[in-house]
Chain A
């Protein structure tokens, strides 16, 4: 389906069959796997939501963030504090964590809207490194639990539903993910998505067209933070613990790793990236106890080298080639770059 606008090509109509199959498979998995694997997959989905949040900001709107671990932490702590100190039911804390992070993101976005590129990266870096220490601050310690953190009760399935707590949480997280992914998909296909991409690719032209770049940047920051915050809320339920060390600066970096490895400016890339940041460190640890970080680094370099557009880009290339094998040879060359980075020049 050739499209007049390059923007539209980035977020085409949803491929219904594969998505339906994927959801069906995702629904079946918890019945085939043990609780531990279900728990791991829950974390994968949680990471995928966080990555999608960061991808909205960094991939689509072109605003780099080295501090999304902070929003993840805010979401996690919002849930933990509401559950622990106010007895709020766990499911209600999810939208509340989202709202808190939306507000925090918009505020930070407003302050940071004048910052570009490296300066924005530094500002968000500041956010990421400072938050774990702020959580230990003694005047809020009775809320945050200080260094000891907060241990959460595990959500259980409502009576009558024969699911283990791990299975129940998995389905809850999956549902949230489907809603948020569909939301992101619609957002990116519409007016707002095009504005975001315009600001990324050609800020001067965007302003010339009358787009209030600062406003959209801070709004994107807010939505992005909301996604990541909701992921944090869900993650804290799965892990049943929040503490300052859970949200070290490395978390922010691994989110960035996730979106690049998964495929920047793609929705499906969030899932690939989540699988990477969830499982590759484990594989690295299995290969070598002496130097797991070196193995992880080697993996990372290999992936970036072999798949310059991330896993999503590689998957698309493979699919295209497979199709091209059956089609006329000329069509094989008639492909468009799936990740256009169109510059003003």
Chain B
């Protein structure tokens, strides 16, 4: 009777395994009292990064920050405590991000997830981390839904969000060019849509000044035809909401076909080295943007103390990193912000206190931020950058102008 034999063997195995596990340690997944218990000499922080996959260029953030905390630990850590950054590859895939974050939280028992990258991955781990009460700290995405302390008190974004940035341009145009005819070019995804939403909010009643909108897909080879359409609309103001490759194309194309609008370029593409130089510096004169950190390719910061410190770090600790890539400045600022939060925690380094201190940053200004830009947060205000300044390109570098503008 093979059936009976297999059934009985199944039962025997199941019974022995069941008895084995009843003797075993308590389930490792059972809730750890991590929010109350103080931790030892090492502060464990987790992170997911797209080291592989379509967004692997951003992996440099995790690599730089790993080097950053190595250096920090070598020089004494934070009040004697070492910071261990466990950074894992999520391949820019939301399911993988969920898996890796669960590993970090449940197996590695990290106190916080620092700078997980990308809107989709952050959306996938949003509810989980809030249910587990583990900080989703300084999420590396510009989407607007991260700053919702009322419903998601454990999530805080880092970037200036797209809606806020769009709103600043909108308000500025409404105040200074009340009879503008506006054309918008945007990427056909949440980033572009958030942005144009902010722009329209900022324009308010003047939203009817928008005479033309064109979108492109990330997979499009060029935006030449979109630029031609926008020029044909007779617009005299151009809001360029594009990622670096398309920004360079748009700037060059508009100039080449003789369209000379007042042009606003979003911060994502404000790099002199990777956007304006390929577009042609002479074609970029007069562009207006918002920047909150110093562009490493901008000559005006060549002797700046903050940028010197950054460059020294790059050459010594992260020599494989690209000195022209603004993302490396961004990652450096975010790492310092985490250090500031951990310093503020004092001896009480718990998930709960990390979140409390992250919402208690006062006038924190890493030296790589533009002069006057400071990080301020509060329990009801999870937006790191509340004030921005516009800058105009003079053919060599971005020159700040006008008053400091509030984003709200």
Residues in A lying within 8 Å of B, measured CB to CB = 16-17, 19-21, 23-25, 27-28, 31-36, 38-40, 43, 133, 136, 146-149, 151, 164, 166, 235, 239-241, 243-246, 248, 250-251, 281-282, 284-285, 289-290, 292-293, 296
Contacts and interface: CB of A to CB of B under 8 A. Distances in A.
A36 B9 contact: no
B94 A27 contact: no
Nearest to B217: A133
A40 B120 CA distance: 20
B88 interface: yes
Nearest to A39: B102
A183 to B, nearest CB: 19
A25 B94 contact: no
Contacts of A251: 93
Contact of A281 (B6, B7, B52, B87): B52
A83 B200 CA distance: 34
A16 B2 contact: yes
B13 A24 contact: yes
B212 interface: no
Given A36-B29, A243-B123, A43 B95 contact: yes
B14 A240 contact: no
A208 B107 CA distance: 59
B69 to A, nearest CB: 14
Given A43-B99, A245-B93, A281-B96, 15 more contacts: A16-B3, A21-B10, A28-B18, A32-B17, A35-B27, A35-B29, A40-B99, A151-B124, A235-B95, A240-B128, A243-B94, A246-B120, A248-B53, A250-B91, A289-B51
Given A136-B189, A147-B190, A28 B29 contact: no
Contact of B91 (A21, A40, A281): A281
Q: How large is the interface on B (under 10, 10 to 19, 20 to 34, 35 or more residues)?
A: 35 or more
A33 B102 CA distance: 14
B319 to A, nearest CB: 13
Nearest to A249: B54
A241 B106 contact: no
* A16, A244, A245, A246, most chain B CB atoms within 10 A: A245
* B20, B66, B94, B100, most chain A CB atoms within 10 A: B94
Given A34-B29, A35-B106, A36-B103, A20 B59 contact: no
Interface string B179-200: 0000000001110000000000
Interface string B86-122: 0111011111101110110111000000000011110
B62 interface: yes
Given A151-B123, A240-B127, A28 B14 contact: yes
Contacts of B52: 281, 284-285, 292-293, 296
